[in-house]
Amino acid sequence: MKLLVSILFAVFVLFCSSALHAQERKIIQYSGIVTTVGSGLPVGYATVTNLSFRNEAFAANNEGYFSFVAHVGDTIRFTSVGFDPLVVTIPDVPGDKYTANIVMQNLVTELPMVTPYPWASIEEFNLAFMNLDVSEDNIVRVRRSLSYESLSAMAAVIPRDGNEMRSINNAQSFNTMNNKVINQRYANPLLNPFAWGSLIQQITKGSQSRKSSNY
């Protein structure tokens, strides 16, 4: 009985000492920037997990910056897609703030070689090979590709490039300038004799009307 009481008392003392030690751990503001090895580029939106405190997770911003409250001695894990996970321990520092430079290594995964085939099985390949049409030679295929119907179909779906659009705009501008000279709707009225004749008739009629009103 005394042995059992002694064991329980020892366990209680150890539990109290560990709890007291946990309460005495210093709290600091843990901040830093996550970058890559070599280039020094920031690792945006990296996941920062405090493994010593209920796996509490944080996220860095797009510039790789993070900041949160932790205890001295906490184990912090940094993870991001395309990088090897990194685990660090918060050191004991004199002040209540600590800024870390976290450098992550790029993860390079070499995938096995894959050769794609358009047939799902050997049977489909044999069937396609047996049904292959080799009656047409290259000249026949070129003539069919350069036929009026084929070129018209391609012209309907293929967009025009920059040089072609520039040529079209130049042609439209040239036609517009010619129309302004040839078309009477755009001609200068000062050079139109019919317009001058109409103006003289209006002036003459106005003078005659004023003379008749004076009498």
The residue behind tokens 């970058």 is: 35
Type of residue numbered 172 = Q
* pLDDT band at residue 162 using 50, 70 and 90 as cut-offs: confident
Is the Cβ–Cβ distance between 118 and 132 less than 8 Å? no
- Tell me whether residue 42 is exposed, middle or buried, using C-beta atoms within 10 angstroms of its C-beta: 0 to 12, 13 to 18, 19 or more: middle
pLDDT beyond 90 at 128: no
pLDDT computed for residue 51 by the predictor: 96
Tell me which CATH homologous superfamily contains domain 27-104: Carboxypeptidase-like, regulatory domain (2.60.40.1120)
pLDDT computed for residue 23 by the predictor: 54
Q: Which has more pLDDT, 175 or 37?
A: 37
CA-CA distance, 155 to 161, in Å (whole number)? 12
Phi, psi of 14 (to 5 degrees): -65, -40
> What's the pTM?
0.45
Taking the alpha carbons of 90, 94, 96, 99 in that order, is the dihedral positive or negative? negative
Q: How remote is the C-alpha of 152 from its chain's centroid?
A: 36
